[in-house]
Structure formats: C-alpha cells, structure tokens
Amino acid sequence: MDKKSLITKYLNQKSSTTRQHQSIQTRECKTTGQDIIKRTKRKYRCRVRSPETIRRTKQIRRNKANARERRRMHNLNEALEKLRRTLPQLPDEPKLTKIETLRMANNYIYALRQILSDDQKEENEAVAATHHGQSFYLSVDNELSAVER
C-alpha cells in the first residue's frame, strides 16, 4: 500500500472510533426540529481494591458511625439529666432511671395541667356568680352566717 492509502485508512478508522465514542457519551434529542446534544454521565471503571484497603475503609466508616452514636447518646443523656433537675424530687431519693424520668415528667405535666384546669373552672364559676349581680363568695358567707344563727 502506498502512503496515501494508509493515511486514508487510518483516518477512516479514527473517525469511525470517534463516532462510536461520541455515541456512547452523548445522545441526541429531537425538540422542535433541532438536534440538541446532551451529555450523559461517564461510566468509570471500578477500581480493584486490595482486601487491606477494603478492611481499612470499613474500619474508618465504623469508627465514624460509633462517634456519631456516642455524640447522640451524650446529647440524650444531657437532656435527661436536665429533665431530672427540673422535676421535683426528695433529697434522699436515688437517681431516677431514664424511663422513670420520662414517666415522672409525664405524670408531673399531667398533674400541672389538672391544677390549671381546676383553677380555670373555679375562676369561671366566680365570674359567673358575680355576673348574676352577686358575689359567689359573699353568698357563701351569708349562708354560713344564717346557719350559725
């Protein structure tokens, strides 16, 4: 073969390879009669990793997960300790467990809610009695003095 035919053959092979390569990395979309070339993600080869590298990677991930869990538990314990200090407690009582602290807090909140509800009822009754032209408390005092006579 002469030089010119070798060059032509090489160029044809190269352009054929280039077209194949482009078709792998891009695709054509038809929109309103125009060809738009969109890039697609490259496919990278997976690296072959040694067992030692895999073991080290797993160990690093495990250490990071353990550190996150320690931080989470530390924050949870701090919050529970703050809740323990907020709850009323006798001086000689032992430290409440986590579940005891949560149950005690629930009961304490319920009791406070009941007290507020009872106070609201008494206040509403007093307002209703004074609204009718007489004081509730005065009417009770008058009844007591009438009974004493």
Q: Architecture of domain 51-136 in CATH?
A: Irregular (4.10)
Q: Is residue 118 within 8 Å of residue 112, measured between CB atoms?
A: no
**Per-residue pLDDT tens digits of the chain, which is 149 residues long:** 666 676 666 666 655 544 444 444 444 445 555 555 666 777 777 778 899 999 999 999 999 999 999 999 999 999 999 999 999 988 888 999 999 999 999 999 999 999 999 888 888 877 777 766 555 555 555 555 555 54
Please report, for the chain, the start and end positions of each structural domain, with discontinuous segments joined by +. Answer: 51-136
- pLDDT of the residue at 124: 80
Q: How far is CA 66 from the centre of its chain?
A: 19
Contacts of 35 by beta carbon, 8 Å cutoff, 6+ apart: 28, 29
Cα-Cα-Cα-Cα dihedral sign, residues 110, 116, 117, 119? positive
Q: Is residue 34 within 8 Å of residue 45, measured between CB atoms?
A: no
Structure tokens given for 138: 């005065």
Instruction: Look at residue 31 and give its three-state secondary structure.
Output: strand
Question: Can you tell me the distance from the alpha carbon of 72 to that of 1, in angstroms, rounded to the nearest whole number?
Answer: 76
- pLDDT of the residue at 21: 47
Question: Can you tell me the distance from the alpha carbon of 149 to that of 146, in angstroms, rounded to the nearest whole number?
Answer: 5
Structure tokens given for 136: 């509730």
User: The whole model's pTM is what?
Assistant: 0.49
- pLDDT of the residue at 138: 53
